[in-house]
């Protein structure tokens, strides 16, 4: 009788493993492939729209041709909230040098709007909910980590990604050469 019990357990575990692997493969095949278009021509990324905190749809196309620092965040994420003042200061510092920081919330519009009322920033904020997480995944966030930051050059090519909290020094190491900012101009 014990051997039948063990056999039953092995059969059930095998069936569950097969089901799990099948669904994992299915999910990977149906996931949107935005990154392929982004790295080639930038068109896929720039055709995407998300609502701003007023609820108005905003196309990423309006930032095409700029160095884009795309920061995925959530209202419930402490490291996301910690980096926002620094990102805001960087937006103020480099806004006239063909660079924009864009915050893309992975929360729904109501939560994002309520949070931004209490913690305003100087850069545009869009609310993307699950679509934002799908975009982050297609841009390399295969771990589902927040914050997640993607730097896109003026040609629409993803040049660098960061998992976790970033700071001004990390970002400047990447964007300064793309902006061709002289060191004296950088400190102004």
pLDDT for the residue 6? 72
79 Cβ neighbours under 8 A, 6+ residues apart = 146, 147, 164, 165
Q: What is the dihedral of CA 28, 33, 34, 36, to 10 degrees?
A: 120
The two three-digit tokens of residue 152, written as one number: 């896109």
- The pLDDT of residue 13 is 55
**What pLDDT score was predicted for residue 39?**
38
pLDDT at 32: 32
- Going by C-alpha positions, the residue among 50, 46, 28 that lies closest to residue 37 is 46
Written as tens digits, the pLDDT of the chain (188 aa) is: 667 767 666 666 565 555 454 555 444 333 333 333 333 334 588 999 999 999 999 999 999 999 999 999 999 999 999 999 999 999 999 999 999 999 999 999 999 999 999 999 999 999 999 999 999 999 999 999 999 999 999 999 999 999 999 999 999 999 998 986 544 444 44
Tell me which DSSP letter residue 60 carries.
G
Q: Distance (Å, rounded) from C-alpha 6 to C-alpha 28?
A: 33
């Amino acid at each position: 009788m014990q051997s039948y019990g063990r056999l039953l357990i092995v059969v059930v575990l095998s069936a569950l493993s097969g089901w799990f692997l099948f669904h994992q493969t299915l999910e990977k095949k149906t996931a949107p492939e935005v990154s392929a278009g982004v790295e080639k021509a930038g068109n896929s990324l720039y055709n995407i729209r998300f609502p701003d905190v007023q609820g108005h749809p905003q196309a990423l196309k309006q930032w095409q041709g700029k160095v884009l620092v795309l920061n995925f965040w959530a209202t419930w994420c402490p490291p996301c909230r910690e980096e926002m003042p620094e990102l805001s200061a960087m937006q103020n510092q480099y806004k006239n040098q063909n660079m924009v920081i864009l915050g893309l919330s992975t929360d729904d519009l109501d939560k994002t709007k309520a949070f931004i009322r209490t913690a305003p920033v100087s850069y545009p904020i869009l609310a993307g909910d699950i679509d934002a997480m799908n975009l982050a995944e297609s841009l390399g966030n295969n771990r589902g980590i927040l914050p997640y930051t993607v730097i896109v050059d003026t040609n629409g090519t993803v040049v660098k990604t960061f998992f976790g909290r970033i700071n001004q020094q990390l970002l400047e190491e990447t964007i300064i050469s793309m902006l061709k900012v002289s060191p004296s101009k950088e400190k102004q």
